[in-house]
Structure 1
């Protein structure tokens, strides 16, 4: 407070104050500010230099409380950012059994719950000072059992000392201990025998004052003892101009300050910091009065000063004090950060290195890791995790209540892992795809057999020839429909069989060109259902021949009922309906549906094969075992090849496989069943007579009877 401010106050209130001066009571906790100018109406305005409890920031309970030390809320943020900076996700929290420790642990636990850091254990340091007590042994054993490499100790100095004595006694080594500001710079803890073996100590400490100022604070008592300070009866506080002057100017320390010797002897860094906090509190009040009394113009106001007015002005101060900025936030907390320190075991005496800083507004953490001497075998930052991070594209499967303990599973094809949601794979969009273990989806590229592709021309030629051959056989059979060869091939059923083969062959064209909704919808059902009709006709025709030659004599009624009640038509219709239901219900284009439809046709082919083989001893004109059996075997081989390779090919390759499979199947069946009969009709007409067929039947009958 400038001397002129106090003189003005004393001139106006001399009868009440009578040589009263402003003081800050130096004590642990709250610093009471006595009345200034009008003491009888002063409310409980308080500025603390060491009380850091976050509870004191609640303005509805402490409306006139301010402090020049950062609150524990800021310290908790600094510790949380420190853990996240080093990626320590598996930590333990222990604290002293008082408001400082319990509130700090609770606030830190709640803050870490919203981050990627998991708290493996949260405990309280026993109040006993006996480090060998069972309570300490139980606490240390828990820290060993949970397998953490980092422990946060949010405690005061008094409780932290026996705790580390117990750590040393239990031979705990190689860990990282994160200390709160109350004990991180305590020499008494450094002096615990054997503490060098516990590992690395990273601590939080309040920002240190300027060294020049601290030297001046220390010199006050020396100046006073040498009697350089002047008359002992003078009044007033040390002026701001005096303290900021050069080293040659004498310092005035003769005010009524019985505790001034405490500021001079500074053997402990905490006393130095507390002295600076008191110093900052005094200047905050001085600047508030300076602004309230309007002294900027050089003449102070003589009006009445009310406490609430001074409180508002103090909250609004913003000034530089020896290269440190002094201001308060809405909760009365000073806008000051922390230093991040690391204990240095290099020398014989206690020492620490400032390795980083935590700044506020906004909250940021800066650490120079090159300054940290880690006490590990490889001199690298220790790792403290419950489970090692998953590889790219692997989601986490939580193993217990801790989200940091998990196993890793690769995301299946068609899904991807979003790094913001690590515990579930997300499905790709309809027009996207992703391989197994992917972190992103890719746009689908349309690959197809272009009509202009040379390979397409190679495949289209046999397709067109197959269609022309089918049409030619149909015309030939229609012209010779009454001949025995055509009638033995199935008669009118031949045209249904040739028609279905033509439809199946037409489906091949839908595999060329850019896929459309219509082509994808039609090509597989058209081929599958048409081919089912063809196989049903073949099975019916083989069954009829076997019945005529082998079963009609024994079960004549069965054969007559089969013919009279339309057995062939019912069999073909039932098979076609069943296949159509498989295709429609399973869905065309889906891998399971297409596989089921192909397996259905394979079963029909096996039935045709069994029936044709059963007639291997029939007359040559009715014996289909030679040609049809070979054709069916080739068809089954083609179907097996398509089924085995369909999952291995995509796009253009898949279309090529489908075309080759269809051509192989249709060509073998058309060539094995119809071509021999067409050859007889066209080039061997003398074999296509009723007399020849009758002689063959009589010969087979006599041979069977013999």
Structure 2
């Protein structure tokens, strides 16, 4: 038995056809053994592309795999995600149905119903077709893909018309969409919109003229010499020639292309470009190799074959349109295979709906932006929608879960992305900061002015009664406390956070200690000296004021050192209070040392209040009760306001409120205690005399004697 056919020379060097995949499987298997080129113009089965089984098979029509891809693109372009698929009971229908179901499911298109259409020529088959049509009406789909041959499609649509199924969209394949078998079914216009895939519609120039010329030549001599197999063709006349349908023209062009492919390959193989063709012997496998590599242009169409023997042509998207009493197809789009792109002309499409709008075929309406899906069925197209909460977003790669934003990001409800949080702190250049800095400068100037006035009038009775040189300690501590305010502006640093509160506490403690000593001294001179002379003598001779101020300040220093050592304030990013902001601030830790620091300052303030109250009836020039009480009330109210604000608001401007509280505390002492003294020194010089003070003491003594 011969098993090497490389030198085999069959009578036919190439075969054009056949028209169906079923026949092509048989011929391709046989011709493949001899490597005889076979070009089919209508066989679309994907399996024929397997070169190890059918090495010499090629075709001028795309295979069913490409048709399935285009159908899915068409469904996606109109957002049809709830469809049914029916197919004919043959390889074409079964494989097409399965391939379309698999690819549609991968692309989030749900198929709640699929069925194989049986042969409806017998009674049992007809009943099955009726059941399929009835089931279609129960699924709620508006779009049905009919992957069938034209013979079975005719039976199916006849049943559809009998069941009065209307306002549906029927997507067809190239086998039946433009076939007169379907468009000539009575009442077919009632079923709805028919559209789908067709071969590229190319007008074959000269075909009609050729038929007219051929049909006019039917003399007996010509008939005798004619080798035409189709004897009925001899009976055609120019008047009786049938009008070819769109489907006929497509198939004709596929045949035309196949013939030209063989012709071009032969010309190359025989070297006909030189002007004369070679008469050398050649073999089918040589011609096959030339056909595989051929590339030429035919009526503006580029013709070539890929490695699987499939053409590089694409598809047209056609829609049925009623013109007078007949149907014709209108090309509404195209698929370009080399670009893998589907283009649809959406203008003036005639949908068979009441408002001529695109039919909707979905199980559930699409969720709004930022809403996740909650499955309500086994089909992924059936779902409920739930908004994503704030600080989460919906990633389009997973529409069933809201993803949390990162710590430095935020999002509003129903968001599809996260946004970077804005970094907030008290900038040096913003209006609020500039206003506070202006207030600080005013405070410095006021303190310096008071120091200057007191230095120039150090030996006057008013300055001595205010505390003498101790006043400079008070003013110095207030200036030091004021310096801590600069630590609150700009980006918080470790050093700023660690020092600003302890330095203020120590400075203000020195100030309160001095005021407490001053209050106690006045009370001691006028009220305690007579009752406790030894204590008063010890207080004066042993430098009691200095010791007390030093000891009181040392205690606060120790508390602050413990606070800094154990749990210091450090720069931190606060993102919990505001969704879209990160507040750069110093941590506010409520450690035991921090609480003790505040309590200690409160204790000193309370003691000042007590001694001020005890000395409320002292001589007017020595009575500091009103001045100190006013200063301390401002201190208390400012910090009460700060802590109240801190509880309800923790934005970046809480730093500004903290600065205001410190400013108010310092201004309170300057305005309440020192400014009245400056007023007397500068404007009431008659009150700043020794005689006036002595008179005041004498009047106090007389008043006490009378009582």
TM over 0.5: yes
Superposition deviation, residue 66 in structure 1: 0.5
SS in 1 for 2:145: strand
CA distance in 2, matches of 1:577, 1:134: 86
**3-state DSSP class of the match of 2:109?**
strand
Match of 1:665 among 661, 664, 667: 661
Task: Indicate yes or no: 2:482 matched with 1:502.
Answer: yes
Q: Structure 1 residue 94 and structure 2 residue 100: aligned?
A: no
Relative to structure 1, the CA distance from residue 132 to residue 318 in structure 2 (aligned partners, 3 Å threshold; closer, same or farther) is closer
8 Å CA contact 1:157, 1:183 repeated in 2? yes
The verdict on how the C-alpha distance between 1:133 and 1:403 changes in structure 2, with shifts beyond 3 A counting, is closer
Change (3 A) 1:499 1:197: farther
Q: Which residue does the alignment assign to 2:546? A: none
Q: Is the 8 A contact 1:177 1:202 kept in 2?
A: yes
- Over 3 Å counting, the alpha-carbon distance change for 1:474 and 1:68 in structure 2 is same
- Alpha-carbon spacing, 1:219–1:352, altered in 2? closer, same or farther (3 Å): same
Flag the structure with larger Rg: 2
Residues 446 and 645 of structure 1: CA distance in aligned 2, closer, same or farther (over 3 Å): closer
The change in CA–CA distance for 1:288 and 1:433 in structure 2 (over 3 A counts) is same
Match for residue 125 of structure 1? 115
1:361 Cα deviation after fit: 2.9
Q: Deviations over 1:99-133 (max 9, x none)?
A: 3234334544565577xx52122643233443665
Once residues 418 and 220 of structure 2 are traced to their aligned partners in structure 1, the CA distance between those partners, rounded to angstroms, is 77
Give, in whole Å, the separation in 2 of the partners of 1:398 and 1:504: 55
Find the residue that maps to 1:184 and give its secondary structure: coil
Question: C-alpha displacement at 1:256, in angstroms?
Answer: 5.2
Tell me the distance in 2 between the aligned counterparts of 1:40 and 1:171. 49
| 1:147-226 matched pairs, under 5 angstroms | 149-161=142-154, 163-164=156-157, 173-190=166-183, 195-210=188-203, 212-215=205-208, 222=215, 226=218
Deviations 1:180-200 (A, max 9, x none): 212222444445666544432
Q: Which residue of 1 aligns with 2:138?
A: 141
Structure 2: how far apart are the matches of 1:421 and 1:501? 57
With over 3 angstroms needed to count, the CA separation of the structure-2 counterparts of 1:367 and 1:220, relative to structure 1, is farther
The alpha carbon displacement at 1:52 in A equals: 0.7
Matched pairs, number: 615
Tell me, yes or no, if the aligned pair for 1:376 and 1:382 is still in contact at 8 Å.
Answer: yes
SS at match of 2:441: helix
1:559 maps to what in 2? none
CA contact (8 A) 2:316 2:334 kept: yes
* CA deviations over 1:217-248 (Å, ceiling 9, x no partner): 76598457x337825346xxxxxxxxxxxxxx
Which residue number in structure 1 is paired with residue 358 of structure 2? 381
Which residues in structure 2 correspond to 1:334-413 (within 5 Å)?
A: 334-345=311-322, 347-384=324-361, 394-395=369-370, 397-400=372-375, 402=380, 407=385
Contact kept, 8 Å, 1:416 with 1:441, in 2: the verdict is no
Residues 1:634 and 2:624 are matched in the alignment:
no
1:422-451 CA-to-partner distances (Å, cap 9, x unmatched) read 988897999x99999697979989999777
Secondary structure of the residue that 2:92 maps to in structure 1? Answer: helix
Residue 203 of structure 1, CA deviation: 1.3
d(CA) in 2 for partners of 1:184, 1:63 = 31
Change (3 A) 1:124 1:417: closer
Extract unaligned runs of 5+ from structure 2.
1-7, 119-124, 524-550, 617-623, 681-687
**C-alpha separation between the residues in 2 aligned to 1:232 and 1:316?**
41
Give yes or no for contact 1:504–1:530 (8 Å, CA) kept in 2.
yes
Equivalent residue for 2:683? Answer: none
Report what 1:247 is aligned to: none
Q: Compared with structure 1, are the counterparts of its residues 51 and 399 closer, same or farther at alpha carbon in structure 2 (3 Å cutoff)?
A: same
**Of 293, 297, 313, which residue of structure 1 is paired with 2:270?**
293
Structure 1 residue 94, shift from structure 2 partner: 1.1
1:315 to 285, 288, 292: 292
Q: CA RMSD in A?
A: 6.1
Matches within 5 A, 1:691-702: none
Using the size of structure 1 for normalisation, the TM-score is: 0.65
| CA deviation profile, 1:15-47 (whole Å, cap 9, x unmatched) | x96xx8976465523559999xxx999445422
Further displaced range: 534-543 or 47-56: 534-543
- Aligned 8 A contact 1:221 1:265 in 2: no
Aligned to 2:194, the other structure's residue is in SS state: strand
- Cα distance 1:501–1:102, how it changes in 2: closer, same or farther (>3 A)? farther
Counterpart in 2 of 1:65? 57
Give the deviation of 1:204 after TM superposition: 0.8
Q: Output the CA distance in 1 between the equivalents of 2:160 and 2:595.
A: 75
Aligned counterpart, 2:71: 79
